[in-house]
Amino acid sequence: MIKIHTEKAPAAVGPYSQAIVSNGMVYTSGQIAIDPTTNTVEAKTIEEQTEQVMKNLGAVLETAGSSFEKAVKTTCFLADMNDFAAFNEIYGRYFTSLPARSCVAVKTLPKGVLVEVEVIAESTL
């Protein structure tokens, strides 16, 4: 196993890694809308938060020898399913390879964010 860490995404806020590469696959931890330069949630709308989540995921995937195009499965968590259409529009710009996906509404997310996404993807590491 290879533990993945990049300064271009938020540091883990607990006893976990940003991602793990094992047997040619990368498993990311869920990414939320924390700006890694300030370590705070600055984005307020679902659109802004989704864009920040995608930036964070992109940085982790790149460090892990992967990319959005190599995604096999995503799991998406929304604080409000009424945000699904806005989230889905931005999600679709990044995950153009159409990986398998689950998307669920949850009661709350860390730091009061509106969205969290995790990815399983192929890796070259």
Tokens at 103, concatenated: 């998307």
pLDDT at residue 12 in the model: 86
Distance from C-alpha of 90 to C-alpha of 2, rounded to nearest angstrom: 30
Classified as helix, coil or strand, 25 is strand
| CB-CB neighbours of 72 under 10 Å | 14
Asked if the model's pLDDT at residue 13 lies above 80, the reply is: no
Distance from C-alpha of 38 to C-alpha of 28, rounded to nearest angstrom: 21
Tokens at 69, concatenated: 């195009």
Residues paired with residue 2 on neighbouring β-strands, in sequence order = 21
* Arithmetic mean of pLDDT over the chain: 97
Count of structural domains, the chain: 1
Residues paired with residue 27 on neighbouring β-strands, in sequence order = 20, 120
Asked if the model's pLDDT at residue 124 lies above 80, the reply is: yes
User: What CATH number is attached to the domain comprising 79?
Assistant: 3.30.1330.40
In the chain, % of residues over pLDDT 70: 100
Q: Which residues are catalytic?
A: 103
> Residue 28's domain spans which residues?
2-122
Mean pLDDT of 2-31: 95
pLDDT band for position 82 (50/70/90)?
very high
Task: Answer for the pair 80, 45: CB distance below 8 angstroms, yes or no.
Answer: no
**Whole-structure pTM value:** 0.96
**What is the DSSP secondary-structure string of 34-51?**
EETTTTEE---SHHHHHH
| Tens-place pLDDT, residues 21-74 | 999 999 999 999 999 999 999 999 999 999 999 999 999 999 999 999 999 999
